[in-house]
């Protein structure tokens, strides 16, 4: 306990307080519109926050840390800055405002960022690890769009080379976007929130019309707040019907959302918050009436969307709210003002449900006017919410305000309870809370679903346009979940998607590019008849040669070092299906055309266009995820076997190599990982230290090294690897094909049994199959009669 003689206004001098807040905005139709850059607009908000503190000293010079939220231009790997930007935004703003901080931070992506930064740096200040801290963020998306449309002449150039220390925390968006979402074009928040929203509608048992009315009634009071806010991007009051009823200026963008029900990113807005310790505030001569204490706080994260047991539930968000209120020692009835993150209606309704709030609560659910009407300046919105709540509790001393900041797809929740009433700093308990949440149940994902399923949620993208897209989240009988796209030619399913299809049966079929959904199996077969298993007459990327019982498969893309595209993958998948189904084919050889490469892996140029996601269910090259490979495949490595090329070779039963062949997994050098089997199979085949060396450095092995370590079984003289592979194939063909297949199957089963003795005992069952085969009888007779056996493969 601190010595009472050192207390200031009854609290420890190290207690963090907010002493200044500031906001700035400009609209293209303002008389003084200046098309400010992100740094210039942020500087306005920072100056306002410094001035708001009313200090007797130069606070700018005292700032120790500046932390900025990420703008949309740097929020994902695909983001762009069409007119340039500072290389160090925190220090660019610092230079404009007289600050020279010791530490500059660029926070991760997410709407939770402002409140999370308050929570984080409150702890840092309380622990004495930093001095006065300035948090800020800005968006100038409206100006960028004006410039892109040619309405600003000359076009702006916001490029700045600032340099200096910067702690860039990266995007922090892992788990917010999945391969399945990208494959099905369901990447925009509008699309994904719509799926969550419709799940909530169904859970509540409401019709589309009833739910639309509910969303309008939830958001209409916010428009009245925005209409009075001088920083609002769209200061106009609307009725519930005007928000929820589709019309010429309010089209449906994704059911159930009209344009007026979603966050508005066409904004130029900035906000800043200044924090410091009570001792520093007192020393700076800041009026204690301006001090705002953080009474309660919490930070939690939900499971990824497709893993959540209930799509419309938010257990982590609920837990964060409960913890923050408990820490503050209050309940929802004790809160005088709220600012609930409001990017989409469900972001508000889930919090309102947890707090027991009605849409018409006289305290209101927003202090700004909400993201669709005040504006949604990306990750920085809640900095404005905090600024407004600080003003609210200052104007009514002793009252409390609550801010909820949501990031991702209801994915991250940060909560703060504010008041001018002095309160000690209370350390976070969120880590322990998150550990409990992470132990909760998860739903398994089905990446290649086929067969009957049930609709769990849905949306229709651009339903009023010429080509609406129906998106379905489905559940299979085994409980696994998948994303699928409704077949546009299935009129019955299209009609169902206009109502509430949740809980109704559907049929799903997977392909390398997407999962397609129809109303039933007959419709699927009518619209997408299955291709018969067998060889085509011709392939564009692969050469196929038959020689008796031997099949030779040549990847024929030498101009690209036999790298595989989505189309190549599909052809190889079909070829291996045909090989395994053809009783007259007993052995296959896989090689690459030319002398330079067996395969250099994934064609990165094709992957950049999304083709890299179009891998068959059987994996890269039709092999790496194939569970059942009943006949032997020999990889004849005639040059580079790199990345996916090595992973395909590792999925074969035998590898023979040219003397000049090289093997490697260079994925880490281009920011990727060997996820097509390299991370699993290589450590099982090589000494662990060597496997880690190859995987973590991209180092390559020569053919001689690969032979030494057992990666390959034989090495050929230069140019002779295909002849060597044919020799090996001939040796296999000289053996009983029945015994070869049984051996492969037994070895595969043994890999799943860690107990060696048990695996040996289990393997004895293969004798029951072999002893009744025609080939076994023929083999014994041929041995007794001293002749070559005549195998039949039976």
**Quick one: CA dihedral 342, 348, 351, 355, positive or negative?**
positive
Sheet with 640-642, side-by-side order of all strands: 597-599, 640-642, 662-664, 700-702
DSSP string, 531-560: PPSS--S--SSEEEEEETTEEEEEE--GGG
Reduced to 3 states (helix: H, G, I; strand: E, B; else coil), residue 373 is coil
Please tell me the distance from the alpha carbon of residue 119 to that of residue 124, in angstroms, as a whole number: 9
Q: Do 785 and 575 touch, CB atoms closer than 8 A?
A: no
Q: Do 460 and 197 touch, CB atoms closer than 8 A?
A: no
- Domain 542-733 in CATH 3.90.226.10: yes
Please tell me the distance from the alpha carbon of residue 134 to that of residue 492, in angstroms, as a whole number: 57
Reduced to 3 states (helix: H, G, I; strand: E, B; else coil), residue 168 is strand
- pLDDT at site 768: 67
* Closest to 332 (Cα-Cα) out of 300, 364, 355: 355
Residue 719, C-beta contacts closer than 8 angstroms, at least 6 positions apart = 595, 658
Residue 727, C-beta contacts closer than 8 angstroms, at least 6 positions apart = none
- pLDDT at site 751: 81
Q: Do 475 and 520 touch, CB atoms closer than 8 A?
A: no
What's the predicted TM-score (pTM) here?
0.89
Q: Do 295 and 423 touch, CB atoms closer than 8 A?
A: yes
Please tell me the distance from the alpha carbon of residue 135 to that of residue 18, in angstroms, as a whole number: 11
Cα 409–chain centre separation: 10
CATH T-level fold of 4-180+260-438: Peroxisomal Thiolase; Chain A, domain 1 (3.40.47)
Q: Do 535 and 544 touch, CB atoms closer than 8 A?
A: yes
**Mean pLDDT split into 10-residue runs, the chain, 794 residues:** 71 97 96 96 98 95 98 90 96 98 97 98 98 98 95 94 96 82 90 97 96 98 98 96 94 96 96 98 97 98 96 97 98 98 98 97 98 96 98 98 97 98 96 96 95 97 87 97 96 93 96 94 95 93 96 96 94 96 96 95 71 79 93 96 96 96 93 90 94 95 96 96 96 87 83 78 71 75 82 77
Please tell me the distance from the alpha carbon of residue 174 to that of residue 538, in angstroms, as a whole number: 42
The catalytic residue among 38, 107, 180, 667 is 667
Which letter, b or e, does each residue of 631-658 get, where b requires 16 or more Cβ atoms within 10 Å of its Cβ?
bbbbbbbbbbbbbbbbbbbbbbbbbbbb
Reduced to 3 states (helix: H, G, I; strand: E, B; else coil), residue 627 is coil
Q: Which long-range contacts (CB under 8 A, 24 or more apart) does 602-611 make?
A: 602/563, 602/564, 602/643, 602/644, 603/557, 603/560, 603/563, 603/564, 603/565, 603/568, 604/563, 604/670, 606/565, 606/566, 610/182, 611/565, 611/566
Reduced to 3 states (helix: H, G, I; strand: E, B; else coil), residue 525 is helix
Active site residue 388: no
The highest-level CATH class for domain 451-527 is mainly beta
What is the helix (H) or strand (E) element at residue 279, kind and residue range? helix 278-283
Reduced to 3 states (helix: H, G, I; strand: E, B; else coil), residue 109 is coil
Q: Do 649 and 598 touch, CB atoms closer than 8 A?
A: yes
Please tell me the distance from the alpha carbon of residue 699 to that of residue 712, in angstroms, as a whole number: 17
The catalytic residue among 242, 307, 647, 659 is 647
Q: Do 508 and 484 touch, CB atoms closer than 8 A?
A: yes
Looking only at the bridges linking them, the beta strands covering 257-258 and 252-254 are: antiparallel
Active site residue 647: yes
Please tell me the distance from the alpha carbon of residue 598 to that of residue 54, in angstroms, as a whole number: 71
Domain assignments of the chain as residue spans, ordered by start: 4-180+260-438, 451-527, 542-733, 737-784
Please tell me the distance from the alpha carbon of residue 736 to that of residue 165, in angstroms, as a whole number: 69
Q: Do 175 and 103 touch, CB atoms closer than 8 A?
A: no
Please tell me the distance from the alpha carbon of residue 132 to that of residue 115, in angstroms, as a whole number: 17
**Quick one: CA dihedral 314, 316, 320, 323, positive or negative?**
positive
**Strand residue runs (E) in 387-538:** 400-407, 412-419, 451-461, 469-476, 481-486, 505-510, 515-518
């Amino acid at each position: 306990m601190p010595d009472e003689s050192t207390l200031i206004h009854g609290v420890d001098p190290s207690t963090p307080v907010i002493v200044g807040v500031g906001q700035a905005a400009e609209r293209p139709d303002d008389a003084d519109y200046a098309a400010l850059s992100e740094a210039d607009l942020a500087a306005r908000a920072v100056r306002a926050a410094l001035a708001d503190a009313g200090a007797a000293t130069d606070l700018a010079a005292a700032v120790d840390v500046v932390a900025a939220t990420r703008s949309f231009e740097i929020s994902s790997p695909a983001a762009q800055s069409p007119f340039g930007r500072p290389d160090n935004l925190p220090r660019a703003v610092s230079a404009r405002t007289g600050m020279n901080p010791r530490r500059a931070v660029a926070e991760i992506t997410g709407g939770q960022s402002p409140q999370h930064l308050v929570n984080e740096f409150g702890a840092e200040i309380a622990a004495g690890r930093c001095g006065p801290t300035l948090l800020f963020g800005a968006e100038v998306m409206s100006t960028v769009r004006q410039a892109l449309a040619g309405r600003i002449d000359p076009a702006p150039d916001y490029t700045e080379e600032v340099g200096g220390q910067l702690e860039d925390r990266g995007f922090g968006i892992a788990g917010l976007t999945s391969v399945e979402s990208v494959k099905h074009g369901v990447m925009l928040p509008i699309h994904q929130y719509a799926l969550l929203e419709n799940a909530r509608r169904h859970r509540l048992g409401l019709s589309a019309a009833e739910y639309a009315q509910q969303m309008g009634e939830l958001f209409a009071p916010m428009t009245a707040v925005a209409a009075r806010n001088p920083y609002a991007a769209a200061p106009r009051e609307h009725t519930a019907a005007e928000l929820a009823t589709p019309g010429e200026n309010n089209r449906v963008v994704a059911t159930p959302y009209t344009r007026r029900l979603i966050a508005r990113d066409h904004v130029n807005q900035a906000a800043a918050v200044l924090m410091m310790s009570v001792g520093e505030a007192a020393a700076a001569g800041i009026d204690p009436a301006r001090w705002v204490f953080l009474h309660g706080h919490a930070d939690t994260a939900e499971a990824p969307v497709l893993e959540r047991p209930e799509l419309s539930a938010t257990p982590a968000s609920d837990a964060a709210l409960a913890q923050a209120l408990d820490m503050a020692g209050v309940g929802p009835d004790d809160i005088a003002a709220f600012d609930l993150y409001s990017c989409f209606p469900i972001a508000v309704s889930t919090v309102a449900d947890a707090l027991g709030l009605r849409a018409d609560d006289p305290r209101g659910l927003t202090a700004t006017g909400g993201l669709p009407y005040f504006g949604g300046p990306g990750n920085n919105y809640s900095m404005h919410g905090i600024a407004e709540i600080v003003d609210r509790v200052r104007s009514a001393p002793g009252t409390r305000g609550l801010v909820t900041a949501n990031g991702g797809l209801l994915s991250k929740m940060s909560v703060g309870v504010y008041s001018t009433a002095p309160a000690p700093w209370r350390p976070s308990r969120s880590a322990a809370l998150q550990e409990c949440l992470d132990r909760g149940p998860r739903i398994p994902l089905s990446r290649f679903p086929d067969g009957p399923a049930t609709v769990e949620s849905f949306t229709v993208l651009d339903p009023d346009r010429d080509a609406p897209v129906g998106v379905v989240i489905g559940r299979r009988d085994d409980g696994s979940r998948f994303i699928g796209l409704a077949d546009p030619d299935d009129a019955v399913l299209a009609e169902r998607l206009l109502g509430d299809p949740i809980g109704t049966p559907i049929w799903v079929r997977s392909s390398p590019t997407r999962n397609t959904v129809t109303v039933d199996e007959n419709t699927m077969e009518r619209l997408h008849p299955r291709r018969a298993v067998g060889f085509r007459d011709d392939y564009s990327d692969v050469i196929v040669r038959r020689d008796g019982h031997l099949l030779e498969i040549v990847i024929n893309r030498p101009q690209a070092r036999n790298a595989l595209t989505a189309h190549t993958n599909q052809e190889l998948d079909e070829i291996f299906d045909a090989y395994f189904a053809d009783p007259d084919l007993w052995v296959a050889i896989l090689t690459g055309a030319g002398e330079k490469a067996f395969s250099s892996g994934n064609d990165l140029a094709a992957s950049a266009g999304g083709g890299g996601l179009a891998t068959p269910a059987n994996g890269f090259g039709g092999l790496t995820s194939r569970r059942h490979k009943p006949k032997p495949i020999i990889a004849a490595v005639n040059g580079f076997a790199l990345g996916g090329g090595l992973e395909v070779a590792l999925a074969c039963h035998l590898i023979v190599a040219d003397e000049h062949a090289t093997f490697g997994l260079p994925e880490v050098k281009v920011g990727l990982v060997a996820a097509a089997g390299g991370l699993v199979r290589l450590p099982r085949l090589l000494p662990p230290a060597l496997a880690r060396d190859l995987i973590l450095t991209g180092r390559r092995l020569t053919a001689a090294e690969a032979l030494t370590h057992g990666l390959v079984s034989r090495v050929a003289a230069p140019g002779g690897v295909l002849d060597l592979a044919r020799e090996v194939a001939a040796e296999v063909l000289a053996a009983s094909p029945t015994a070869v297949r049984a051996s492969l199957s037994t070895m595969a089963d043994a890999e799943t049994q860690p107990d060696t003795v048990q695996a040996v005992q289990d393997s004895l069952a293969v004798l029951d199959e072999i002893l009744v085969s025609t080939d076994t009888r023929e083999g014994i007779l041929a041995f007794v009669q001293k002749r070559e056996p005549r195998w039949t493969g039976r």
